[in-house]
Amino acid sequence: MKPPFERVLVANRGEIAVRIIRACRELGCESVAVYSDADAGALHVRAADLAVRIGPPPAEASYLDVAAIVSAARASGAQAVHPGYGFLSEREALARACDEAGVVFVGPSADTLAGLGDKLAARRAARSVGVPVVPGTLEPAPVGSLEAAATVLPEAERVGWPLMVKAAAGGGGRGMRRVDDPADLPGALLAASGEAQAAFGDGSVYLERYVHGARHVEVQLLGDAQGHVVALGERDCSVQRRHQKLVEEAPAPGLTIRRRREVHAMAVAVAGAFGLRNAATAEFLLDPEGHFWFLEVNTRLQVEHGVTELVSGLDLVHEQLRIAAGQPLSRAVLAAARLAARPSRHAIEVRVSAEDPGRSFAPVSGTIGRWRVPDGPGVRVDSGVEPGSVVGTHYDPLLAKLMVVAADRRGAIARLQRALAEFEVTGIQTTLPFHRWIAGDRAFRAGRVSTSFVPDRWRPGPLRAQAAERAARLAAAWLAGPEPDAPGAGSSAGGSAAASASPGWPARLRTDPDPDPVAQDPWVLAARREAVDRWPA
């Protein structure tokens, strides 16, 4: 079969760039990577057929530079540009610049990006087609000054407390603030607007009611140039920190066939109102009473698209490229859409990031030592790093996505626990201890999740951080020599300390009584196991 394009430029980096490059190769398309100076030796650069430098490390001067991306596409002879997710993936400016340069943008049209990319416009469109939206404002809030922001208080009272201040553009949890006290609203408006302006070039914000105990459920959509839009199933993305997802699964636990069809139809209605072409995701809140409320549409491939692929059997990047080339939705897509409300498999994804879960998920930097990913039946790892990769501070800390699939949710969780036990990383702190904790958490295993799950149940705090640090010191001592109080230890024994190390030392590291009141906490135990694995040898 003829490939959809001869050559595709991938306007991204890291794991998503590698994932798109692999899809291009499977379809017979040549791939072009772009890179900043910080990524000159990165995995995605070596994986592509060609690579083009686009600027210095700051994203604003490289991966967010529309002119540099389009220039690289033209210079390399690329027929299409795939933006991945993040960076310029939802920017109308890139889609229009590609159109003007005669290059195909692999994503929705510039007009659709402008419409659905504006959350306020999407909220208005959803209401116009009868889809309920989370109560809130439909126009931007005034944020020019504290005095101007204060004028929105009457509208805030109508929305109700607590409420969210949210950016009208972009995503990824940026430009969002929860407000519980009316006195904090003006400051929250200014802060959220400033963050949104810096991240997306648009400081518009609006108000939305905070729905406590709600779940975050999103629907995967595909549309073609012929006007067909279908839903390929839903995902539950409720486990979040700072409004950014940590765990995603498909299908959403606990939904009946009728409820799935209901939310799928809502998503298709909103996307259809804008003539969606290519991939997008409609996001909803599911409140504790069982009502769905529309939030927004992400007009791009999502980070968690892989769990939908594992359940549906589709390759969404393949489908994106075919749709961008003008082909209608494939038979495989239409068949998957008919079965979307009756899934026969369950998939879970966890994001492995260079963050410290014991310190409020603060990003960390360093050089990866050992990098051993799990394998075996039903396990998939999408990664953009390898042993020796340098993790800096210029970009998102996501390193890899671990995905598992099984016949049902119980089997998927068991497989996830097994895969997490096999995942080994040294040289840098990751979120693996958190994921090991959550895979064994009773509430998660029972499907009792909400967007407040992490703040409600995750309590690393100073004691846990101290426990993890103490475990790292013990691991370092074990690597350097015998346990200090082990028989024969110390200089008096003569000879090499390493040669006289007690073989029972690692076992004692895991079971030694600890006066710390959280010593038996699941996260602490996982942190200790991880400390042995990750401590630089």
Fold category of 135-209 in CATH: Dna Ligase; domain 1 (3.30.1490)
Can you tell me the distance from the alpha carbon of 280 to that of 85, in angstroms, rounded to the nearest whole number?
11
Tokens representing residue 480 in the block: 């350097």
Predicted local distance difference test score (pLDDT) of residue 464: 52
Q: Is the peptide bond before 154 cis (omega within 30 degrees of 0)?
A: no
Phi-psi region for residue 102, left (φ > 0), alpha (ψ -120 to 50) or beta? left
What is the per-residue pLDDT across 164-219, written as a single tens digit (0 to 9) for each? Answer: 999 988 766 788 999 999 999 999 999 999 998 887 778 899 999 999 899 999 99
User: Please, what CATH class does the domain formed by 345-458 belong to?
Assistant: alpha beta
pTM to 2 decimals?
A: 0.85
Fold exhibited by the domain 107-130+212-344: D-amino Acid Aminotransferase; Chain A, domain 1 (3.30.470)
Residue with tokens 């690597």: 479
Q: Which of 29-33, 117-121, 173-177, 467-471 has the lowest mean pLDDT?
A: 467-471
pLDDT value at residue 492: 34
Put the strands of the sheet holding 205-209 in their side by side order: 176-179, 163-167, 205-209
Q: What tokens appear for 221 in the block?
A: 């959509």
- Average pLDDT over the chain reads 87
The fold adopted by the segment(s) 7-106 is Rossmann fold (3.40.50)
Give the whole-angstrom CA distance, residue 275 versus residue 115. 10
* Nearest to 314, CA basis, from 294, 297, 334: 334
How many C-beta neighbours within 10 Å does residue 480 have? 10
Mean pLDDT of 285-289: 95
Confidence of residue 499 (pLDDT cuts 50, 70, 90): very low
The ranges assigned to domains in the chain are 7-106, 107-130+212-344, 135-209, 345-458, 461-534
Q: What is the rounded average pLDDT of the residues 247-266?
A: 98
Which of helix, strand or coil describes residue 304?
coil
pLDDT in the model for residue 440: 93
Q: Is the pLDDT of residue 523 over 80?
A: no
**What confidence category does residue 150 fall into, taking pLDDT thresholds of 50, 70 and 90?**
confident
| Neighbouring residues of 377: CB distance < 8 A, sequence distance ≥ 6 | 415
d(Cα 535, Cα 251) in Å, to the nearest integer?
A: 37
Report how far Cα 376 is from the mean position of its chain's Cα atoms. Answer: 24
Strand 7-10 to 80-82 pairing: parallel
- 391-410 mean pLDDT: 96
485 pLDDT above the threshold of 70: no
User: Which residue intervals of 492-534 are DSSP H helices?
Assistant: 505-511, 522-534
CB-neighbour burial class of residue 338 (10 A; exposed 0-12, middle 13-18, buried 19+): exposed
278/533: higher pLDDT = 278
DSSP state of 134: -
Q: What is the mean pLDDT of residues 131-145?
A: 90
Calpha distance 119→137 (Å, rounded): 11
Cα gap 283→234, rounded to integer Å: 9
The identity of residue 366, as a single letter, is G
Contact 518, 524 (CB under 8 A): yes
pLDDT for the residue numbered 101? 98
Instruction: Assess contact for 534 and 482: CB atoms under 8 A.
Output: no
Predicted pLDDT of residue 475: 54
CA distance linking residue 299 with residue 129, whole number of Å: 19
Mean pLDDT of 490-515: 37
Nearest residue to 404 via CA among 374, 378, 434, 376: 378
Of all residues in the chain, the percent with pLDDT exceeding 90 is 75
Does the pLDDT value for residue 537 go beyond 50?
A: no
| Confidence check: pLDDT of 455 > 70 | yes
> Tell me, what's the pLDDT at 460?
67
pLDDT at 139 over 80: yes
pLDDT in the model for residue 202: 83
Per-residue pLDDT band at 280 (split at 50, 70, 90): very high
Please check whether the two domains, 7-106 and 107-130+212-344, share a CATH topology. Answer: no
Identify the pLDDT of residue 463: 45
Residues 355-388 have pLDDT tens digits of 999 888 999 999 999 999 999 999 999 999 999 9
Evaluated on CA atoms 454, 455, 459, 460, the torsion sign reads: positive
